Structure 1
């Protein structure tokens, strides 16, 4: 059974028996397995692994897999971009693995999962990395995008909102977010569409509502990002469980 938890600036997935094809995840990804289970990725074995944004990888586990995807606006997401350029394995510790295995999966678990994510990212940080605030102009652009029903907007429109030239805005966005505006918007639309499917919408309905050309376009982008087909990931029996966190 797939379980999905929506935090303010992260997504948490709990699944069992998963095997992906090579894919490029737009968000930073941290995956760990439950006690007694093993994770394989890119020819390696272990209990925890980290995949930087846009680094091709594949992974699988016959056991229970716990995966965090950091929203690109998460402060730790920007820090991780400066720490690692390649995938790596790490030991998350037995306490964290057991805590995730025993998660009640309720909205009240928001703080627990947020703290867990901070702890996991801390294990991946280098000592000299310093957290820096997001540029106010980019924060304003992200807030503008948040208000859009469909996350589809021209870079020129965003630049105009900030009284910047389009070229200056594009450069600043990539510098601050470590990804292009286009890639960020694609990520938002894909996640919005996936959540709609989890909530019961058809793939076609979700595709049209989130700004994709058609269901085939949505399915193709989803597979590129997650290494799984939409049907194999979300069209399961029993249906996926979705929990929205408290924030």
Structure 2
């Protein structure tokens, strides 16, 4: 993970409220927010869509801000996010090794923030807004999110090539055991590879180090626990963090703000 920059002139003051919906390989964050994040980066691709208002991104500390109705931030791309005033937003986080993630990489690249086609961004916003207004049930929101991602891919999600089956088995093993202590050697042994060969396979297939990927899964587990009413301390322990301070540091590094800055509504 690259060194993230500080922003001493205007510290992060992000505040927001909303809901987070999870499915394997992705999540939808939807609600209201304001302010600026600190510099951060995360494993997943981020599709940001304005439901009302607009937002800005930048990827260089002294660089210009660019306003968007819809944008994609590729995984591992350090960036800042800002809302001038208040806005309603949807953020779709899609892991790059999934079918949808590979389709997004093929369409938009993996180097820097890219603008989403206006028609696709508006169609995605409409799908998500209608689902939020009519249901808010997890199954309905996940269905709307999946349709929105397909809309932004502008194609059926069919990648040119499949993941290496050994990596697929490794990812399944990690997800099945994520609440336990996991090591690179343990997972390599589970799929009958040497540590060095597995490390190479993992980075090539996911774009992340083994440790960064584990932290990404664990921070999502913690957020999911908080969505069901757990305290952040309990959520940290449930997800395998040493304590809530470790969870907070990880959350800030991946999302640019502390977890307590966002008021999460319980989902059903």
- Deviation string 1:89-125 (CA, Å, 9 cap, x unpaired) is 22342333222222232223433321211221348x9
Distance 1:167 1:149, change over 3 A: closer
Query: What's 2:50 paired with?
Result: 33
**With CA pairs under 8 Å and 6+ residues apart, which has the higher RCO, 1 or 2?**
1
TM-score w.r.t. length of structure 1: 0.86
User: Which 5+ residue runs of structure 2 have no aligned equivalent?
Assistant: 1-16, 59-64
- CA RMSD in angstroms comes to 2.1
2:113 aligned with 1:87, yes or no?
yes
Distance 1:151 1:29, change over 3 A: farther
SS in structure 2 of the partner of residue 102 of structure 1: helix
2:66 aligned with 1:44, yes or no?
yes
Distance 1:50 1:192, change over 3 A: same
Query: What's 1:13 paired with?
Result: 29
Distance 1:215 1:130, change over 3 A: closer
Query: What's 1:96 paired with?
Result: 124
2:91 aligned with 1:78, yes or no?
no
Distance 1:122 1:186 in 2: 31
Distance 1:149 1:175 in 2: 21
Decide whether the 8 Å contact of 2:248 with 2:258 is kept in 1. yes
Query: What's 1:4 paired with?
Result: 20
Structure 2 matches for 1:183-222, cutoff 5 A? 183-222=212-251
SS in structure 2 of the partner of residue 17 of structure 1: strand
Query: What's 1:105 paired with?
Result: 136
Query: What's 2:172 paired with?
Result: 143
TM-score w.r.t. length of structure 2: 0.80
- Tell me whether 146-155 or 209-218 shows the greater mean CA deviation: 146-155
Q: Which runs of 4+ in 1 moved over 4 A?
A: none
